[in-house]
Amino acid sequence: MVLPLEMGWRHLLFENWPVDPDVMDAHLPDGLRPDTYDGSAWLSVVPFTNVAVRPRGAPEAFGIRLPELNVRTYVTRDGVPSVYFFSLDAQGVASVVGARVFHHLPYYYARISLQSDGRGGVRFRSRRLHPGSRPARYEATYRPTGEPFRAPEDPMAEFLVERYRFYTEAQDGSIRYTDVEHEPWTLSPAEVEVQTNTLLKSHGFAEPDADPVYHYSPGLDVVASRSKRL
């Protein structure tokens, strides 16, 4: 039995595009429905780094650092607003294999770097190297701008980030879910320059027509439950 995990999520960019709900529905497994805001489903790319990833209750010193890049959308089931992950790219072969085998998460091995750009921002690069997977690359520089605010104070921001359950499709076709616990998000508007993004194409999505909505967060600490079969 896999133990719950503790970790920190740091230096996050939330990059969100509106998508036709019918288009999104065609990409989701049975049993999950697109969640909508202003009549649109939303497709999201989130670069960040995990810190101090460890079994719940273990000292932080035993945790590992794991840069990560997610492609996700927003779904509901039984009235619970949740996240559905299409993919999670991460640096670290052992971590990727462990997440796939024990947590049933669609992790892909990638070469990732996350560095300060020297001006208060983050430079993020990722190149997927997972055997047999579609190639995917992402490169962006981002930084916070404006005053930070609590996500629950803004209806759209609350929709996009205040979610405490995520779903994935396991390799056997079953749907799995995990519940997470953390404080409400603190966000800032973000200034972003994306040099390369082939992640959406790798999942069969057309290039979005609309401009993305950006938010930055310095991060928070998280507890994730065991993965459970739906």
Tens-digit pLDDT profile for residues 197-209: 999 999 999 989 9
**Which of the pair, 1 or 63, is modelled with greater confidence?**
63
Q: Amino acid identity, residue 101?
A: V
Using alpha carbons, list the distances in angstroms from residue 64 to 21, 61, 99: 37, 8, 13
Does the reported pTM lie above 0.85?
yes
3-state DSSP assignment of residue 210: coil
Lowest mean per-residue pLDDT among 10-14, 25-29, 90-94, 110-114? 90-94
Tell the residue number behind the tokens 């579609």, with chain if given.
134
Tokens, residue 158: 């609350």
* d(C-alpha 18, C-alpha 38), whole Å: 9
Render pLDDT for 178-192 as a digit per residue (tens, 0 to 9): 999 999 999 999 999
Tell the residue number behind the tokens 């020297």, with chain if given.
118
* d(C-alpha 200, C-alpha 136), whole Å: 8
Question: Taking 50 as the threshold, does the pLDDT of residue 1 lie above it?
Answer: no
Mean pLDDT of the chain: 91
State the pLDDT confidence band at 170, using cuts at 50, 70 and 90. Answer: confident
* d(C-alpha 36, C-alpha 136), whole Å: 27
**Which of the pair, 226 or 98, is modelled with greater confidence?**
226
Question: Taking 50 as the threshold, does the pLDDT of residue 108 lie above it?
Answer: yes
Give the count of beta carbons closer than 10 Å to the beta carbon of residue 112: 21
Containing 222, the helix (H) or strand (E) segment is strand 213-224
Q: What is the pLDDT of residue 63?
A: 85
Quote the percentage of the chain above a pLDDT of 90: 71
State the pLDDT confidence band at 118, using cuts at 50, 70 and 90. Answer: confident
Q: Residue 37: which of 18, 24, 22, 23 has the closest Cα?
A: 18
Options 3.40.50.1370, 3.30.930.10, 2.40.400.10, 2.60.120.200; CATH of 5-229: 2.40.400.10
Q: In angstroms, how far is the first alpha carbon of the chain from the final one?
A: 17
Question: Taking 50 as the threshold, does the pLDDT of residue 226 lie above it?
Answer: yes
Q: What is the pLDDT of residue 55?
A: 86
Question: Taking 80 as the threshold, does the pLDDT of residue 14 lie above it?
Answer: yes
Strands 122-128, 80-90: pairing kind: unpaired
Q: What is the pLDDT of residue 102?
A: 53
Q: Amino acid identity, residue 226?
A: R
Q: Residue 29: which of 85, 103, 81, 88 has the closest Cα?
A: 85
